[in-house]
Amino acid sequence: MPSKSALPVPSNQPVRPAVPALAYTFLPGAHSDDAADSYSVTAFAEVLDRATRAMIARGTLGISPGALARAYFDWALHLAISPGKQGRLAEKAMTKNLRLARFLTSCAVSRGKGEACIDPLPQDHRFEHPGWKLFPFNYYSQQFLLSQQWWFNAMTGVRGVSAHHEKVVDFVTRQFLDFLSPSNFFWTNPEVIEKTLEEGGMNLVRGFDHLIQDVDRYTRQMPPSGAEDFVVGEDLAATPGKVVYRNRLIELIQYEPTTPNVRPEPIVIVPAWIMKYYILDLSEQNSLVRYLVDQGYTVFMVSWKNPGREDRDLGMSDYRKLGVEAALEAALAITGAPQAHMAGYCLGGTLLSIALAGMMHQGDERVASLSLFAAQSLTRNSLEHFQ
């Protein structure tokens, strides 16, 4: 686990002067009634608005109701003025109801074991239990799958809807439909009913107890149950390392090679700043860092700071300079190597690609190779630079 001994933070960052509170009392060009508002009234209104949005965000899991309303309004408005699309949806609804009626007829003839009129997608494993082939559970699953298919046709292909709004509407609607799946309810899930009969209802008691624990942890803002079993430095991030550089955005962790022969060029890894660095050092069995140091590489890993309100004015250029470029400079200064290999993971790969594009534009040749994991590809011109 990285230690906390680190080099002092460089003090060359510009500091914005604090603005006196009285400067907000009277604003040039403001209306007379606005100018009369005191700073305390303005600050209270701002805090109240922020608190309200934060409360809404907790209830919607961070999804903006305004953004959803705009997306659904865009879809509903264009669907309302698309009689051709409405006609096709009506025809599809009639066809699916006829298919469902034929299925019910076959169930009546074959004592509840009718031939399915629609199959789940290959990745959908909710209806694999044998009980879903018996009536009425097969009817529940078939009706749900046909409805899900119809709603997909309704949410997509509406002329005039923006591509972004179409994706939002389709995604949110699918989540809501998945919530209504018969596999999620006790009285419509044959697997749960069978388990309940076997255990005399104790499975429901355990489930209710888990629900109470989850609600209690959520209201007290505690981590999910079981998270205490994974301790950083023991179960996670167990590869020995140390913090060798720090600025206001990152800590740079260095991992020494475990082989007698050390490769001349280090590897600098830039993970996404929305997750912890040890996503690439989970355990000895699935640790990229452990594998690289066992191959003789000196590895440097960026650990991003969780931003606070004091970082609200930082932009992409700050993350590029204080993140990617600062990590590369520190790694080369520590190892004395002229070049380094760099790797980017997820959103870190996006930032790394942007930073390297700027470096190549300036003729910077300090990066020997680039690897991207779960990130977008570079352009052809950028790839040719590394070939």
346 as an active site residue: the answer is: yes
Beta partners for residue 369, in sequence order? 341
Length in residues, the chain: 387
Cα atoms in the Cβ-side hemisphere of radius 13 Å centred on 124? 12
In the chain, alpha helices (H)? 32-35, 39-60, 65-80, 83-109, 137-155, 163-179, 190-199, 202-219, 288-294, 316-319, 326-335, 347-361, 380-385
144, 100 Cβ separation under 8 angstroms: no
Three-state SS for 233-263 is CCCECCCCCEEEEECCCEEEEEECCCCCCCC
Catalytic residue (choose from 346, 352, 367, 378): 346
* C-alpha dihedral, 274 to 276 to 278 to 280, nearest 10°: 0
Alpha-carbon torsion 27, 30, 32, 34, what sign?
A: negative
Helix H or strand E segment including 304? strand 299-304
* Active site members: 346
